[in-house]
């Protein structure tokens, strides 16, 4: 039943999920290659941006790093459940919400793949202002963040439209 619905509702969102996943894989593999070639040294450094590889075994921006396998596996299982829920939401939604969810799913799949394959997620984009460094992140994180922000904007706009329609 779900397969029929997917085929019936095939759309550009599915292509964007694959493209986001592939872009993420390419950038991570390239940075890992450069890191090995340069003996784990910083790959790029400028006034506001550094490219250096770190291995994140936690979730979002390195939070909840666990050394115990059972906690890591538990968090990975929860992430898989969230990915399945997002996939179902893509099937049930339409319009801009669907595009936003596709960005989130594409990024989530990229990071989930790394959690399974490497047991950690390679992060390498380090924005900073003098000594203040933001969390180090990757391409998947960019798309997840953009997707979440767009979902929030979509909900705010939809709720505003509902309030206006209820007043009329």
pLDDT in tens, 8-41: 666 788 999 999 999 999 999 999 999 999 887 7
- Beta strands at 49-56 and 44-45: parallel, antiparallel or unpaired: antiparallel
Question: In a 10 Å sphere around its CB, with 0-12 CB exposed, 13-18 middle and 19+ buried, how is residue 138 labelled?
Answer: buried
* Residue 86 lies inside a defined structural domain of this protein: yes
Is residue 4 situated within a structural domain? no
> Are 37 and 125 in contact, with CB atoms under 8 Å apart?
no
Helix axes 139-167, 12-37, angle to 10 degrees: 150
The answer to the question of residue 166 being in a domain is: no
* Count of the separate structural domains present in the chain: 1
Is 167 inside any structural domain?
no
Handedness of CA 151, 115, 137, 43 (dihedral sign): negative
Question: Containing domain of residue 93, as a range?
Answer: 14-124+131-159
6: in domain: no
- Residue 15's H or E segment, with its range, is helix 12-37
Please identify every residue annotated as catalytic.
123, 141
pLDDT tens digits, 156-167: 988 877 767 666
Dihedral (CA of 120, 136, 27, 88) sign: positive
Q: Does a structural domain hold residue 57? A: yes
* Residue 117 maps to a domain: yes
pTM: 0.84
In a domain? residue 168: no
pLDDT of residue 26: 98
Residues 144-155, mean pLDDT to the nearest whole number: 95
* Tens-place pLDDT, residues 57-105: 876 555 555 567 888 888 899 999 999 999 999 999 988 899 999 999 9
Place of tokens 């450069």: 34
Q: Note the pLDDT of residue 168.
A: 63
């Amino acid at each position: 039943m779900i397969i029929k619905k997917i085929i019936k509702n095939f759309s550009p969102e599915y292509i964007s999920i694959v493209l986001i996943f592939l872009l993420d894989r390419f950038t991570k593999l390239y940075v890992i290659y450069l890191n090995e070639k340069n003996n784990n040294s910083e790959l790029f450094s400028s006034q506001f941006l550094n490219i250096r590889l770190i291995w994140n075994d936690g979730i979002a921006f390195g939070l909840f790093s666990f050394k115990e396998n059972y906690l890591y596996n538990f968090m990975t299982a929860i992430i898989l459940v969230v990915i399945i829920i997002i996939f179902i939401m893509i099937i049930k939604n339409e319009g801009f919400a669907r595009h936003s969810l596709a960005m989130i799913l594409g990024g989530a799949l990229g990071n989930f793949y790394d959690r399974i394959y490497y047991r950690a997620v390679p992060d390498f984009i380090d924005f900073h202002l003098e000594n203040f460094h933001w969390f180090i992140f990757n391409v998947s994180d960019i798309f997840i963040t953009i997707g979440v922000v767009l979902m929030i904007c979509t909900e705010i706009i939809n709720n505003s439209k509902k309030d206006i329609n209820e007043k009329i």
